[in-house]
Amino acid sequence: MEKDQLEKLFNSKVDRRGSNCEKYDFYHESYSVEQGDYLPLWVADMDFPSPPCVVDALKERLDHPVLGYSGTSESYFQSIINWYEKRYNVQINKNWIINIPSMIQALNVLIHTFSNPCDKVVIMPPVYPAFASVVEDTGRELLLNELMHTPTGYIINFNNLEEHFKNGAKILIFCNPQNPTGRVFTEDELMKLSKLCTRYDVLVISDEAHADIVYEGHQHIPLFSISPESLHQTITLTSPGKTFNLSGLGCGNVIIGDEKLKETFLQTANRIHLNQGNIFGLLALEVAYTKADQWHQYLLEYLSENIKLLTKLLKDNLPKAHMHKPEGTYLAWICFKEYGLSHHQLEEFIFKKTRVLLSSGKFFGSCGDQFMRINLATPRSNIHEAITRISSTLC
């Protein structure tokens, strides 16, 4: 596809209403509002059409009318191996890959498999809300290792993390690139983290859902690849869902380089048919990883421009709102503290008065008070409209 065709594709406003879309059709369930002219920039999926080569392959598959069980082909595994080599310069082995429908389903199974009720599990808020719920719902003890908010961005509080490890934490659920702060952790940070986990024998579940959305000047490094020790103490959750907007197809992978950990996980996964595979998801992943490079490259360019636009709009229209430029993810984490409103008032203003639906910071942990997360994977005009609407009420 030519660049101007891609630009047209990304700028086009596809009407998602009426397609059973969580973001546009079901927001009233999460926001307690009536249906209306809301601008929804919450759920972490994209408003952009998925790569045309993927959509075409799915249509072609439907020319075959039998939709029974399927298996994971050699070319499926190879597409993931090649993707890791191309994107991260990391070699992975076919035997390390286990197909899963959703990362959060797999996270549940991993917590059940590798810990016992009341065991301590650490998360690093502000962070994707499902991490806390999985730990609490499975009856494990949740330990919070809040990221430190510094003038230059969020960093890991290693002293506090070590305290939790000394106190017997068994598992760390790590998020890199980080949702919602947009941090992409550096080699030094990952090395330090890995050493600490080795010293205290802590298993890391590394959620790398946003790994392929990383901006110039930053590089995603899969945690398992940081050292030989890390390979044996890390379980990675990965998926093409965020990268190519395929989350509705339910297709991800768990990558486990340690044979013993893998066998233990497989026993449970096989028992509950977790790795059964969805014909459309498997196909979409393979086509996306092998044929959608150009689309992906353009996505990163488009999102970088959206970040620049948001930065300028905030400066011009909401000067008391602050954000650190995301290093990765299509999410931006905005601090509204200087407006002097309580979190509840902020929600009332933004959701009810301006009818812009952002993700409320409180869901990411109590440190998310007076913060909002905005989803920038949307045509530029929507970002313009959102900030214009918000600035008309908050000044």
Ligand X SMILES: Cc1ncc(COP(=O)(O)O)c(C=O)c1O
Residues that bind ligand X (CB under 6 A): 44, 102-104, 128, 175, 179, 207, 209, 239, 241, 247, 252
> How far is residue 306 from each of residues 15, 236, 313, measured CA to CA in Å?
20, 29, 10
Task: Provide the minimum distance between the beta carbon of 375 and ligand X in the complex, in angstroms, as a whole number.
Answer: 10
Task: Provide the minimum distance between the beta carbon of 312 and ligand X in the complex, in angstroms, as a whole number.
Answer: 26
Task: Provide the minimum distance between the beta carbon of 248 and ligand X in the complex, in angstroms, as a whole number.
Answer: 9
Task: Provide the minimum distance between the beta carbon of 177 and ligand X in the complex, in angstroms, as a whole number.
Answer: 8
Coil/strand/helix, residue 4 = helix
Task: Provide the minimum distance between the beta carbon of 138 and ligand X in the complex, in angstroms, as a whole number.
Answer: 16
- Contact partners, residue 21, CB within 8 Å, separation at least 6: none
Task: Provide the minimum distance between the beta carbon of 103 and ligand X in the complex, in angstroms, as a whole number.
Answer: 4
Determine contact, residues 334/298, Cβ cutoff 8 Å. no
Residue 6 or 235: the one with the smaller Cβ distance to ligand X is 235
Residue 252 or 257: the one with the smaller Cβ distance to ligand X is 252
Residue 208 or 318: the one with the smaller Cβ distance to ligand X is 208
Q: How far is 305 from 3, CA to CA, in rounded Å?
A: 15
Residue 131 or 302: the one with the smaller Cβ distance to ligand X is 131
Residue 6 or 80: the one with the smaller Cβ distance to ligand X is 80
Task: Provide the minimum distance between the beta carbon of 188 and ligand X in the complex, in angstroms, as a whole number.
Answer: 22
Q: How far is 341 from 15, CA to CA, in rounded Å?
A: 34
Residue 81 or 134: the one with the smaller Cβ distance to ligand X is 134
Place of tokens 């620049």: 308
Place of tokens 């199974």: 109
Residue 177 or 257: the one with the smaller Cβ distance to ligand X is 177
Task: Provide the minimum distance between the beta carbon of 209 and ligand X in the complex, in angstroms, as a whole number.
Answer: 4
Task: Provide the minimum distance between the beta carbon of 176 and ligand X in the complex, in angstroms, as a whole number.
Answer: 9
Coil/strand/helix, residue 155 = strand
Task: Provide the minimum distance between the beta carbon of 367 and ligand X in the complex, in angstroms, as a whole number.
Answer: 17
Residue 99 or 225: the one with the smaller Cβ distance to ligand X is 99
Nearest to 268 by CA among 121, 141, 125, 106: 106
Place of tokens 């920039």: 41
Upper half-sphere CA count for residue 171 (Cβ side, 13 Å): 26
Q: How far is 97 from 266, CA to CA, in rounded Å?
A: 11
Coil/strand/helix, residue 215 = coil
Residue 45 or 354: the one with the smaller Cβ distance to ligand X is 45
Q: How far is 243 from 201, CA to CA, in rounded Å?
A: 32
Left, alpha or beta for 179 (phi > 0: left; psi -120 to 50: alpha)? beta
Nearest to 103 by CA among 28, 175, 165: 175
Residue 51 or 126: the one with the smaller Cβ distance to ligand X is 126
Coil/strand/helix, residue 39 = strand
DSSP for 84-127 reads HHHHH-----GGGEEEES-HHHHHHHHHHHH--TT-EEEE-SS-
